[in-house]
Structure 1
Amino acid sequence: MADDNAYFADPARLHSGIRQIESISSLAQAMLKDFVDEVNATKHWPGEDDSFAKQVLPRELKERQGSTDTIQSIADAVVGIADGTTANLRNITETQDGNMDAIRDSGRGAGHHGKH
C-alpha cells in the first residue's frame, strides 16, 4: 500500500520536460517574430495620409499591438513555467543529494560506533 505522504520526483523526466517547455518557448518567440514581420509588411496597405488611412490606421495599429502583446505574454508565460520548473528541479536535486549524503554519513558513523 502506498504512503499518501510519500514524495517522489524523477529529475531526468523533469529535465526532459524543461527542454520541451523551452522548445515551446522558442517556437512562440519565432511565431511572434514571424507575425510582426508579416504584419509590418502590410502596414502601409490602407495608405498613409488620406482619409481612409486616417480612419483605419489607428484601429489597425491597436489590433496589431494587441496581437503582438498577446503572443509575447504567452511566450513569457511559457518561459516562466520553464524557469519555475528549473528552480523546482534544482531544489529536488539538492534535497536528494543532501539526503543521500546524510545516509552515507550515517552509514559510516554506524559502522564505527555499532556493536560487533
Structure 2
Amino acid sequence: MADSNAYFADPGRIQAGVRQVDAISSLAQEMVRDFVSAVNLTRDWPGQDDEFAREVKPQEKSERESVTDTGQAVTDAIVGVANGTHSNLQNILGTQNGVLDAIHESAANGPGRH
C-alpha cells in the first residue's frame, strides 16, 4: 500500500507538458492575430455612411470585438496555464534539489559526524 504522505513528480514529463502548452499558446495567439487581421478587412463591407451601414455597423463592430475579446481571453488562459505549470515545475525542482542536497550532506557527515 502506498504511503499517503508520499510525494512524486516527474520533472521531465512536466517540462514536456509545459513545452506542449507553450506551443499551443503560441498557436492560439497567432490564430487571434490572424482572425483580427482577416476580419478587419471586412469591416467596411456594409458600406460607410448610408442607411444600411448605420444600421449594421454597430452590431458588426460589437460582434467583432466580442469574438476578438473571447479569443484573447482563451489565449490568456492558455498562457496562464503554461506559466502556472512552469512555476510549479520550478518549485518541484527546487524541492527535489533541496532534498537531494540534504541526503548528500547527511551521507557525507555520516553517523556521529555532526
Residues 5 and 112 (structure 1 numbering): CA distance in 2 closer, same or farther, change over 3 Å?
closer
Mapped to 2, the partners of 1:66 and 1:29 lie a distance apart of 16
Mapped to 2, the partners of 1:17 and 1:34 lie a distance apart of 26
Aligned partner of 1:85 in structure 2 is: 85
Aligned partner of 2:71 in structure 1 is: 71
SS of aligned partner of 1:113: coil
Q: Which shows bigger deviation, 45-54 or 102-111? A: 102-111
The two structures have a TM-score, normalised by structure 2, of: 0.95
Once the two structures are superposed, residues 67-112 of structure 1 have per-residue CA deviations (whole angstroms, 9 ceiling, x without a partner) of 0000000000000000000100000000000000000000011166
Aligned partner of 2:49 in structure 1 is: 49
Give the root-mean-square deviation of aligned CA atoms. 1.3
Mapped to 1, the partners of 2:113 and 2:44 lie a distance apart of 83
Aligned partner of 2:21 in structure 1 is: 21
Aligned partner of 1:60 in structure 2 is: 60
1:40 corresponds to 2:16: no
Structure 1: 5+ residue stretches without partners: none
Mapped to 1, the partners of 2:3 and 2:111 lie a distance apart of 30
Structure 2: 5+ residue stretches without partners: none
Aligned partner of 2:96 in structure 1 is: 96
- Give the AA of the match of 1:98: G
The two structures have a TM-score, normalised by structure 1, of: 0.94
- Give the AA of the match of 1:6: A
Mapped to 2, the partners of 1:53 and 1:96 lie a distance apart of 63
Aligned partner of 1:12 in structure 2 is: 12
Mapped to 2, the partners of 1:79 and 1:67 lie a distance apart of 18
Q: Offset of 1:56 from its aligned partner?
A: 0.3
